[in-house]
Amino acid sequence: MRKAVLAGLGAAALLGGCAEFGGPLGSGSPSPQEQRLQAIEARLEELARKVENLTLAAQSQSLMRLEAEMRDLHGTVERLRYDLETGEKRSRELYQDLDRRLARLEQEGGARLSMDPRIAAPPPVPPAQEEEATYTAVFDRLRAHQYDDSIAGFRDLLTRWPQGRYAANAWYWLGESYYAKKDFDAALDSFRTVRAQFPASPKAPDALFKIGLCLAEKKQGDEARASWQQLVAEHPDSSAAGLARERLKQPKAP
| Domains, in order of start, for the chain | 1-123 (no CATH), 127-254 (1.25.40.10)
Measured CA to CA in angstroms, residue 69 lies from 66, 139, 174, 178 at distances of: 5, 16, 21, 21
C-alpha span between 46 and 189 (Å, rounded): 33
178: which residues sit within 8 A by CB, 6+ positions away?
147, 151, 184, 186, 187, 190
Whether residue 20 contacts residue 203, with contact meaning beta carbons closer than 8 Å, is answered with: yes
What local confidence, expressed as pLDDT, does residue 114 receive? 46
> Distance (Å, rounded) from C-alpha 220 to C-alpha 45?
31
| Residue 81, phi then psi, degrees to nearest 5 | -60, -40
Is residue 190 over pLDDT 80?
Answer: yes
Q: What is the mean pLDDT of the chain?
A: 75
Q: Which of 103-107, 154-158, 165-169 has the lowest average pLDDT? A: 103-107
Burial class (CB in 10 A: 0-12, 13-18, 19+), 139: buried
* pTM (global) more than 0.85: no
- Tell me what the mean pLDDT of segment 196-208 comes to: 95
List the single range of 42-46, 201-205, 239-243 with lowest mean pLDDT. Answer: 42-46
pLDDT > 70 in the chain, percent: 55
